[in-house]
Amino acid sequence: MDLEIAGRKAIICAASKGSGRACAMSLGREGVELVINSRTAADLEATAEEIRKDSGAKVTTVACNITTAEGQAMVLKACPDPDILVNNAGGPPPGDFRDWDRDVWIAAVDANMLTPIFLIKATIDGMIERKFGRIVNITSSTVKSPIDVLGLSNGARAGLTGFVAGLARKTVQHNVTINGLLPGPFDTDRLRTNLRKAADRVGATYDEMYAKRAADNPAKRVGDPYEFGETCAFLCGKHAGFINGQNLVMDGGSFNSTM
């Protein structure tokens, strides 16, 4: 299926690894011109080179912390008029809310709520003028189904989700959609790090924890980032213009509900 977005421009945040990288790979294969970002320049450049080799896409790298105003300005300078914006950043750490002071909360809200909102603010009017825009916020299945130790993530991402729910209803008449993609367990560095920590906590091996995580899922496996990237690309495609204000959980059906 041709998504009919070849030649469009995209910003993909936090894209040297994991889900962000997969979204960039898939959009690159659709002929989209990419600006990708992450903090570690060497990893980012290596990913850019892989994408260029894979699809021949034009890829510009901006090594910076996207959760800072300076980082956001650098990315926007490299691509002031994107047609596609994929918001992403590292997730906040797990813990007990009794240990989180104001600074910890502000960091989580900055990274997982305000950063996407400010990037949307900087780019959405241009999308509206050009009558095409696709914004995908990578959040988490915890937005719909909270995990107690991930309170920072549950809270900050729910704030973003609530805000864009209202905005999306105003922009879709201009063919500018905003949707959330909510990953459950995907086989990325973040999942592997979390599984290693969980294994240490309960005295199990990493392989045992990985097998348990897979077995606990209705699909009997964890997600492949490729699946995530292709879904993101579909939401960014021309034909997805009537999908708006949705929060698509990609978790193999773990979240148990009828709808």
Q: Which of 19, 137, 154, 171 binds ligand NAP (CB under 6 A)?
A: 19
Q: Least distance from C-beta 68 to ligand NAP, angstroms?
A: 8
144 belongs to the binding site for ligand NAP (CB under 6 A): no
End-to-end CA separation in angstroms for the chain: 27
* Closest CB 246 distance from ligand NAP, rounded Å: 17
- The CB-of-153 to ligand NAP minimum distance in angstroms stands at 6
186 binds ligand NAP (CB under 6 A): yes
Binding ligand NAP by CB under 6 A: which of 9, 25, 30, 38? 38
- For 128-179, the DSSP string reads HHHT-EEEEEE--GGGTS--GGGHHHHHHHHHHHHHHHHHHHHHGGGTEEEE
Contacts (CB under 6 A) with ligand NAP, residues 59-88? 65-67, 88
Query: In sequence order, what E strands does the chain have?
Result: 9-12, 33-38, 59-63, 84-87, 133-138, 176-183, 247-250
**Which residue, 120 or 176, has its beta carbon nearer to ligand NAP?**
120
Q: Is 34 exposed, middle or buried (0-12, 13-18, 19+ CB in 10 A)?
A: buried
Exposed / middle / buried, residue 45 (Cβ in 10 Å: 0-12, 13-18, 19+): middle
Which contiguous run of DSSP H or E holds residue 104? Answer: helix 102-109
16 interacts with ligand NAP by CB under 6 A:
yes
- The CA distances from residue 168 to 86, 91, 135, 142, 238, in Å, are 15, 23, 9, 21, 17
Q: How many residues contact ligand NAP, by CB under 6 A?
A: 29
Shortest distance (Å) from residue 218 CB to ligand NAP: 16
Measure the CA–CA gap between 116 and 136, rounded to whole angstroms.
Answer: 10
CB of 253 to ligand NAP, least distance (A): 15
Rounded to a whole number of angstroms, the minimum distance from the CB of residue 41 to ligand NAP is: 8
Residue whose CB is less far from ligand NAP, 18 or 133: 18
- The correct pick among 2, 6, 7, 40 for binding ligand NAP (CB under 6 A) is 40
Per DSSP, 69 falls in state H
Sheet holding 133-138, edge to edge: 59-63, 33-38, 9-12, 84-87, 133-138, 176-183, 247-250
CB of 71 to ligand NAP, least distance (A): 6
- Please choose, out of 72-80, 95-103, 188-196, 199-207, the segment that lies near ligand NAP by the rule CB under 6 A: 188-196
> Which segment (74-82, 161-169, 179-187, 210-218) binds ligand NAP by CB under 6 A?
179-187
By the criterion CB under 6 A, which residues form the site for ligand NAP? 14-20, 37-40, 43, 65-67, 88-91, 138, 140-141, 183, 185-186, 188-191
